[in-house]
Amino acid sequence: MRPIIEFRNVCFSLDGRMILDNVSFQIQRGQTLVLLGRSGSGKTTILKLINGLLKPTSGAVLFEDASTADLDPIRLRRQIGYVIQEVGLFPHYTVERNVGLVPRLEQWPAEKIAARVREMLHLVGLDPDVFCQRFPRELSGGQRQRVGVARALAADPPVLALDEPFGALDPITRSEVRREFRNLQDRLRKTMIFVTHDVQEAFQLATHIALLKDGRMIAIVEPEDFARIEHPEARAFVESLN
């Protein structure tokens, strides 16, 4: 089976500093790959390379067998739903307009957009009759995060990229949203790349965990095999669970 995303010997440097060093891996359709590592390990750089915000210094990033360097960046990004920690909702847009943003850019008919917005809000546990006309400032942190996920899913992209999306939430809300997100994964079977430095989050959400340190890929394993990685960084993360 061909991977939907592939890194081939990718290096990325900035101002003479190596950020990613010869990284190679594949992501199959339907997998949830969690990029786990400390701050500065290269996790977010990988996401930005996938959606074309950055270009490799050397090597190649492939999306559905095509190099991202050869793809129209706008078309590429519209195939990747993007969710970040601070959500990035437009404050002057209602929830309805925020969620329907990409379908409008794709010139969907108005009635189809309206139906899709309601469907997505139901999917993330928000009543559209209550929330459609609210503005982001009128929502709690957990509600804004749910709207962010709904917006990322609205145009039905094959891939979701999530950059520590729950990091700004309080522990109780974070646990609730994680649980809801896991249920969404089970229902939607999207390909997901999820960035975190929280090993517990990685174990809860991943089908595969990629451990990074100082821009290098140490290993990619299924969660049940993580504790068997023979590397000090893996042991440090396992010990943090205790």
Chain segment 136-166, per-residue pLDDT in tens: 999 988 888 889 889 989 999 999 999 888 7
Query: In this structure, are residues 100 and 120 in contact, taking their beta carbons and an 8 Å threshold?
Result: no
Chain segment 41-88, per-residue pLDDT in tens: 999 999 999 999 999 999 999 999 999 999 999 999 989 988 876 667
Closest by Cα among 35, 37, 39, 41 to 19: 41
pLDDT score recorded for residue 174: 77
pLDDT score recorded for residue 171: 77
How far apart CA 222 and CA 229 sit, in angstroms, is 11
pLDDT score recorded for residue 170: 77
Instruction: Using CB atoms within 10 Å of the CB of residue 114, give its burial: 0 to 12 exposed, 13 to 18 middle, 19+ buried.
Output: middle
Q: Which residues share a beta bridge with 221?
A: 209
SS3 state at 186:
helix
Tokens 């409008």 correspond to: 104
Q: Is the pTM of this model over 0.75?
A: yes
Chain segment 13-48, per-residue pLDDT in tens: 998 899 999 999 999 999 999 999 998 899 999 999
Which residues lie closer than 8 Å to 242 by C-beta, 6 or more apart? none
Q: What is the mean pLDDT of the chain?
A: 91
CA dist list (Å): 28 to 65, 154, 159: 12, 22, 11
Share of the chain above pLDDT 70, in %: 98
Closest by Cα among 35, 5, 60, 82 to 215: 35
Chain segment 93-135, per-residue pLDDT in tens: 999 999 999 999 999 999 999 999 999 999 888 999 999 999 9
Q: Is the pLDDT of residue 194 over 70?
A: yes
pLDDT score recorded for residue 87: 65
Residue-range domains of the chain with CATH: 1-79+159-242 (3.40.50.300), 88-157 (no CATH)
For Cα atoms 173, 201, 88, give the angle at the middle one, nearest 5 degrees. 60
